[in-house]
C-alpha cells in the first residue's frame, strides 16, 4: 500500500490551526518514565508515528500504556527487560534515548547502534563517551551497544557540541548516579529544558537547566508524576510559514510559545511577516505584498533551528532577491532542494549553503519526501504552487505531524490522502 498526498495549490487559506504537543519533548519524556517505576500521566503527547514507535519499545520492555481522553497513561511498574529490539530501534534514531534511561534506571542496557539516516551521518559518539565517563562499560556486539555496570559515579563531562539527545541521555543517567554529574557545553533547546523540569518534578536535583553547564546531584530514587508536554515549536514554525506563503492567506496559529521561537520570528520580521497577537499564545500571520530575501544560519538553540530551514527555503522562493541558508548541523539537509527545483524553484547548493533566487512561480509536480521536515516543506510548496502536487513517501511526514491533513483541510487547503495498492 503506497500512501501519497495530492494537493491542489494556490487556494487562499483562512482559519485557525492549533499546534500539538512537541514530539521531541514527548520522546525523552516517555523514556524518562523508566527512571521511577509507577503510573505517569503525560498530557498533550502527539499521536504521531515516532511516538507510537517509542511506545512499542516501551511495551516490549514491559510497560503498559493507554491513550485516555486527554492524556497518555504509562505504567512502568512491571518493566522487566533492558534490551531494545532492532526492528523498532532502526525505525527511529531517537531510540538512542533508551541508553540513558535504561542505564540510569537499571545500570544495564542493550540498545542498537542507530544506523545512518537521510539527513546525515548523525553519530552517537558523544552519548557513548558520556555514559562511559560515568563509569559504565560499553561494548559493541552484533550492532548493539551493550552496557553493564555495577555502579555509576558522577563526573564532569564536556560535550564537543551541545547535542540535544546526548544532553538528555546524560541528564537521565545522571539523576540516578551517585555523586555530582556536570554536563558542560550542554544543549539549551526548550525540549531539553522541558525534560530537566520533568526530572526535577520526579525528585531529581538539577541546576543550570537551559544554561551551558548542568549540575546534577544523584538521587537514590525518583517518583512518577503527571506533566503536560510543551507546544511543538517546529510544528508552530511550519504553520507560521504556511500562513505567510500566499498574500491572501488569513491564518491564525494557536498554542504557540513565542519565546521558544524568538529567532525564527525575528527572521520572519526581516522577511516582511509580522505576527499579530489575537489571544494568549494565538497569532494572526500578516505579510507584506513583496517579501524580502534574507540570510539564515542554522545553529543550536537559541540560534535558528535546523528543523525549520526547509520551510523558510520554500517561503524565500517567493521573496524578491537572493537569499542564503547555511546549514551547520546536518550535512544532507538540502535534499529537498532538488524536489523544489523540479517545481520551478531556483536554488543552488554550494557546500553548506543554499542560494535561493526569487521570486519564482512554483508549479505542481510529483515530488518525494526525503525526511520528516523536507517532506512537510514540500507540502507547503504544494500549497503555494499552481495545479496539482503529488507527494510520495508521506510516512516520513507522519512521523512528526499530528492530524496534518485535518489541520490543513480545516483552513481550506485542498489536500487528500490517496492509498494505492502496489
219 vs 373 by CB, closer to ligand UD1 = 373
Stretch that binds ligand UD1, among 174-182, 300-308, 337-345, 412-420 (CB under 6 A): 300-308
Q: How many angstroms separate the CA atoms of 369 and 375, rounded?
A: 4
When asked if residue 163 is in the footprint of ligand UD1 (CB under 6 A), the reply is yes
168-187 positions binding ligand UD1, by CB under 6 A: 187
Residue from 2, 66, 87, 125 binding ligand UD1 (CB under 6 A):
125
Half-sphere exposure of 412 (CA within 13 A, CB side): 16
If binding means CB under 6 A, how many residues of this protein chain bind ligand UD1?
Answer: 23
Residue from 44, 122, 219, 260 binding ligand UD1 (CB under 6 A):
122
When asked if residue 229 is in the footprint of ligand UD1 (CB under 6 A), the reply is no
**Which residues, 6+ apart, have CB-to-CB distance to 35 below 8 Å?**
101, 104, 105, 172, 175, 176, 199, 202, 222
78-107 positions binding ligand UD1, by CB under 6 A: 93-94
75 vs 307 by CB, closer to ligand UD1 = 307
Q: How far is the CB of 29 from ligand UD1 (least distance, A)?
A: 11
Cβ atoms within 10 Å of 368's Cβ, excluding its own: 19
Residue 175 a catalytic site member: no
Q: How far is the CB of 247 from ligand UD1 (least distance, A)?
A: 31
Q: How far is the CB of 19 from ligand UD1 (least distance, A)?
A: 16
Q: How many angstroms separate the CA atoms of 169 and 145, rounded?
A: 14
Please name which of 68, 21, 85, 23 lies closest in space to residue 50, comparing C-alpha atoms.
23
316-375 positions binding ligand UD1, by CB under 6 A: 329-330
Residue from 7, 27, 35, 240 binding ligand UD1 (CB under 6 A):
27
**Which residues, 6+ apart, have CB-to-CB distance to 146 below 8 Å?**
109, 110, 138, 139, 140
28 vs 364 by CB, closer to ligand UD1 = 28
20 vs 165 by CB, closer to ligand UD1 = 165
When asked if residue 166 is in the footprint of ligand UD1 (CB under 6 A), the reply is yes
Q: Which of 31, 53, 117, 175 is catalytic?
A: 117
Half-sphere exposure of 218 (CA within 13 A, CB side): 19
Stretch that binds ligand UD1, among 39-47, 157-165, 244-252, 355-363 (CB under 6 A): 157-165
Q: How far is the CB of 27 from ligand UD1 (least distance, A)?
A: 5
Stretch that binds ligand UD1, among 29-37, 116-124, 347-355, 361-369 (CB under 6 A): 116-124
Q: How far is the CB of 364 from ligand UD1 (least distance, A)?
A: 28
Residue at grid coordinates 503529488: 390
When asked if residue 309 is in the footprint of ligand UD1 (CB under 6 A), the reply is no
163 vs 389 by CB, closer to ligand UD1 = 163
CA dihedral for 185, 190, 194, 195, sign (positive or negative):
negative
299 vs 405 by CB, closer to ligand UD1 = 299
How far is C-alpha 16 from the chain's CA centre?
A: 22
113 vs 363 by CB, closer to ligand UD1 = 113
Q: How many angstroms separate the CA atoms of 325 and 157, rounded?
A: 32
Instruction: Report which DSSP code applies to 58.
Output: H
Which H/E stretch holds residue 112? strand 108-112
**What DSSP string describes 365-413?**
-EEE--SHHHHHHHHHHHHTSBSEEEEE-TTTGGGT-TTHHHHHHHTT-
Q: How far is the CB of 309 from ligand UD1 (least distance, A)?
A: 10
Relative orientation angle of helices 164-175 and 23-32, to the nearest 10 degrees:
20
82 vs 330 by CB, closer to ligand UD1 = 330
Instruction: Report which DSSP code applies to 33.
Output: G
Please name which of 310, 183, 318, 328 lies closest in space to residue 245, comparing C-alpha atoms.
318
When asked if residue 165 is in the footprint of ligand UD1 (CB under 6 A), the reply is yes
Please name which of 398, 320, 327, 413 lies closest in space to residue 359, comparing C-alpha atoms.
320
Q: How many angstroms separate the CA atoms of 19 and 369, rounded?
A: 22
Q: How many angstroms separate the CA atoms of 240 and 254, rounded?
A: 10
Stretch that binds ligand UD1, among 60-68, 118-126, 134-142, 340-348 (CB under 6 A): 118-126
Active site residues: 117
Given the rule CB under 6 A, which residues bind ligand UD1? 24, 27, 93-94, 120, 122-127, 161, 163-166, 187, 191, 305-307, 329-330
Amino acid at each position: 500500500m503506497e500512501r501519497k498526498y495530492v494537493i491542489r495549490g494556490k487556494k487562499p487559506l483562512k482559519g485557525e490551526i492549533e499546534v500539538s504537543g512537541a514530539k521531541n519533548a514527548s520522546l525523552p519524556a516517555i523514556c524518562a518514565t523508566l527512571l521511577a517505576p509507577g503510573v505517569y500521566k503525560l498530557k498533550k503527547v502527539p499521536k504521531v508515528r515516532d511516538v507510537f514507535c517509542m511506545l512499542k519499545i516501551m511495551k516490549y520492555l514491559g510497560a503498559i500504556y493507554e491513550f485516555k481522553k486527554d492524556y497518555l497513561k504509562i505504567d512502568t511498574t512491571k518493566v522487566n527487560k533492558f534490551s531494545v529490539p532492532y526492528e523498532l530501534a532502526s525505525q527511529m534514531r531517537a531510540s538512542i534515548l533508551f541508553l540513558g534511561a535504561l542505564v540510569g534506571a537499571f545500570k544495564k542496557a542493550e540498545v542498537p547502534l542507530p544506523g545512518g539516516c537521510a539527513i546525515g551521518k548523525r553519530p552517537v559518539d558523544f552519548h557513548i563517551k558520556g555514559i562511559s565517563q560515568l563509569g559504565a562499560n560499553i561494548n559493541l556486539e552484533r550492532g548493539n551497544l551493550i552496557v553493564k555496570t555495577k555502579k555509576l559515579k558522577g563526573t564532569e563531562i564536556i560535550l564537543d557540541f551541545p547535542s540535544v539527545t546526548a544532553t538528555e541521555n546524560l541528564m537521565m543517567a545522571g539523576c540516578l548516579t551517585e555523586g555530582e554529574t556536570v554536563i558542560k557545553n550542554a544543549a539549551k533547546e526548550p525540549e531539553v529544558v522541558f525534560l530537566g523540569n520533568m526530572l526535577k518534578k520526579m525528585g531529581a536535583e538539577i541546576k543550570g537547566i537551559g544554561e551551558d553547564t548542568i549540575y546534577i546531584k544523584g538521587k537514590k530514587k525518583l517518583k512518577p508524576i503527571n506533566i503536560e508536554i510543551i507546544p511543538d515549536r517546529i510544528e508552530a514554525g511550519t504553520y507560521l510559514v504556511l500562513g505567510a506563503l500566499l498574500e491572501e492567506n488569513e491564518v491564525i496559529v494557536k498554542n504557540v510559545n513565542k519565546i521558544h521561537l524568538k529567532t525564527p520570528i525575528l527572521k520572519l520580521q526581516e522577511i516582511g511577516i509580522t505576527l499579530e497577537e489575537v489571544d494568549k499564545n494565538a497569532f494572526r500571520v500578516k505579510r507584506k505584498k513583496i517579501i524580502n530575501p534574507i540570510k539564515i544560519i542554522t545553529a543550536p538553540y537559541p540560534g535558528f533551528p535546523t528543523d525549520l530551514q526547509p520551510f523558510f527555503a520554500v517561503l524565500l522562493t517567493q521573496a524578491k532577491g537572493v537569499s542564503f541558508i547555511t546549514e551547520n548541523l546536518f550535512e544532507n539537509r538540502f535534499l529537498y532542494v532538488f524536489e523544489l527545483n523540479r517545481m520551478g524553484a531556483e536554488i543552488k547548493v554550494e557546500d553548506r549553503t543554499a542560494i535561493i533566487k526569487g521570486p519564482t512561480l512554483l508549479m505542481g509536480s510529483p515530488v518525494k519526501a526525503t525526511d520528516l521536515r523536507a517532506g512537510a516543506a514540500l507540502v507547503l510548496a504544494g500549497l503555494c504552487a499552481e495545479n496539482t502536487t503529488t507527494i510520495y513517501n508521506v510516512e516520513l511526514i507522519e512521523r512528526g505531524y499530528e492530524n496534518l491533513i485535518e489541520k490543513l483541510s480545516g483552513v481550506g487547503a485542498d489536500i487528500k490522502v490517496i492509498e494505492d495498492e502496489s
